[in-house]
Structure 1
């Protein structure tokens, strides 16, 4: 358990003097990281031995051990120690979410590399099989959405969010196939391994990721998305909206590239939905 988890677990059990030390750490982290035991004791109006007992209560061997572990928490990010959303009002939250989604789409449009998109579409249109890879909460969703968008166009496609399966699918793929990878961070080492294997086997690769990242460096075609998220840890990432929009752009262009095939497949799918679910043609194609 990390230092702040220990502090949260023990806070209700602290004595008044120890509680003052805890408040300093939570409210003035920079001071706590740099302060000596005497400075921290003076600020909390306690004795140095009280500071030492406080440190041991949190599972530290000494004040020095406490300082080292406290400094390490900075690597996690200060925004997680004292998260402060601008507002928790429902109307404000709704406005922030929608505004961030709109901004993500506008920024995507501004930075979109159309030539790279066209290369990716050409690869997909001519592919015998498409493998969509992504892991984690967002990229696994993107991989599944790629499958969802492409199969209805008559494209042979499968998605995988499992690292081992991705590596096995890559090893079994053929040069006429194509692999599409998604990684919001661009630091998915397992995806990089699959991409490098694909390169060795002569299998074209496309990635949706950050510019200059390890995932981008390992791929043939990069559909770059570079967006800033801000500091609100409670707001879902708006970058995923841009990823889904890019998937829609690619899928639409693929549909135009295989128009006759796509129209036939879409009609067969719609026929089954009308027959077994909707009764007419007014509903969307699938849920």
Structure 2
């Protein structure tokens, strides 16, 4: 789908004076332009209707009608990015907004936690022969890597992957007793969903941490749903990753408790080596 708004924003400096006039009107009032006839737009830009038609064709549209259809689609996809509302500008206000958003996200996600699902996921991980942690994209990749770091300390055999093709291959070749632990903030990661479908074909247990009702959720043997409210401030990083990290920490500690002495023994060996070789301080985090 052609992104008309994005194209106008990136190419406007290379347009003719008439095209720049049309571009300015479109970007200033997308909704208004969608209601205009070609004659109305031409009059407002002080150009001729044929100039508007040539402008539309330069943008890859067949006609003014086609231009309006594509403009409507582009507007629908990223309305908040066309006319973003003003947000905080001082460091103090930005910091307050970020911290408040994180706190609200953590409280919201806790209230929506499915404790039974976390218990079943933890039991599957504790009984697994091998754990495959999958995620891709920004936050989901980070959470998948973090899951590997949380679980190997407990004595589990675990690896993480953020590459879709590698995920598909690992899903197809996972040994008996393996568990896939997959993360997706959006839930609409279709290549990862296909890797999960392949894992299911071979009987691998699939634990999915994602939005309920999503493409990822449909592939879950155990779904651990995560809920949060997304920012309205488009320049503030998503607080969703904190909801996922908190859910992962809850899951990891539940696994550790279920494993008992096995997990404690592995953690003690790691701490022994860190104290001897790193800082001599038993109070430091376990390898962080």
Question: CA-to-partner distance for each residue in 1:211-267, whole Å, 9 max, x for gaps?
Answer: 111211111110001322133221111111000000000111111112212222112
Question: CA-to-partner distance for each residue in 1:26-68, whole Å, 9 max, x for gaps?
Answer: 1210111231111112333443244335435545454334323
- 10 and 161 in structure 1: CA distance in 2 versus 1, 3 angstrom threshold: closer
Say which SS state the counterpart of residue 87 (structure 1) adopts. Answer: coil
- 199 and 60 in structure 1: CA distance in 2 versus 1, 3 angstrom threshold: closer
TM-superposed CA distance for 1:156, in Å, is: 1.1
Give the match for residue 228 of structure 2.
Answer: 227
- 165 and 54 in structure 1: CA distance in 2 versus 1, 3 angstrom threshold: closer
Question: CA-to-partner distance for each residue in 1:83-135, whole Å, 9 max, x for gaps?
Answer: 33422221121111111111111011111011111111111111111111111
Cα distance between partner residues in 2 of 1:193 and 1:60: 34
Give the match for residue 272 of structure 1.
Answer: 273
- C-alpha contact (below 8 Å) 1:152/1:262 kept by paired residues: yes
Q: TM-score, normalised by structure 2?
A: 0.91
Give the match for residue 246 of structure 2.
Answer: 245
TM-superposed CA distance for 1:206, in Å, is: 0.7
Q: Which runs of 5+ in 1 are unaligned?
A: none
Q: TM-score, normalised by structure 1?
A: 0.91
Say which SS state the counterpart of residue 191 (structure 2) adopts. Answer: helix
- C-alpha contact (below 8 Å) 1:85/1:234 kept by paired residues: no
Cα distance between partner residues in 2 of 1:7 and 1:215: 35
- 164 and 14 in structure 1: CA distance in 2 versus 1, 3 angstrom threshold: closer
Give the match for residue 137 of structure 1.
Answer: 138
Give the match for residue 211 of structure 1.
Answer: 212
Say which SS state the counterpart of residue 265 (structure 2) adopts. Answer: helix
- Which moves more between the two structures, 240-249 or 46-55? 46-55
- Which moves more between the two structures, 66-75 or 171-180? 66-75
- C-alpha contact (below 8 Å) 2:207/2:224 kept by paired residues: yes
- C-alpha contact (below 8 Å) 1:175/1:204 kept by paired residues: no
Q: Which runs of 5+ in 2 are unaligned?
A: none
- Which moves more between the two structures, 47-56 or 26-35? 47-56
Aligned length: 287
Cα distance between partner residues in 2 of 1:168 and 1:59: 39
Cα distance between partner residues in 1 of 2:278 and 2:57: 64
- 206 and 40 in structure 1: CA distance in 2 versus 1, 3 angstrom threshold: same
Give the match for residue 70 of structure 2.
Answer: 69
Say which SS state the counterpart of residue 158 (structure 1) adopts. Answer: strand
Question: CA-to-partner distance for each residue in 1:168-204, whole Å, 9 max, x for gaps?
Answer: 2122223422111111111222222222222222221
- Which moves more between the two structures, 191-200 or 31-40? 191-200
Give the match for residue 96 of structure 1.
Answer: 97
- C-alpha contact (below 8 Å) 1:116/1:223 kept by paired residues: yes
- 157 and 10 in structure 1: CA distance in 2 versus 1, 3 angstrom threshold: closer
Cα distance between partner residues in 2 of 1:49 and 1:170: 57
- 199 and 78 in structure 1: CA distance in 2 versus 1, 3 angstrom threshold: same
- C-alpha contact (below 8 Å) 2:12/2:20 kept by paired residues: yes
TM-superposed CA distance for 1:8, in Å, is: 2.7
Give the match for residue 152 of structure 1.
Answer: 153
- 249 and 18 in structure 1: CA distance in 2 versus 1, 3 angstrom threshold: same
In angstroms, what is the RMSD of aligned CA positions? 2.1
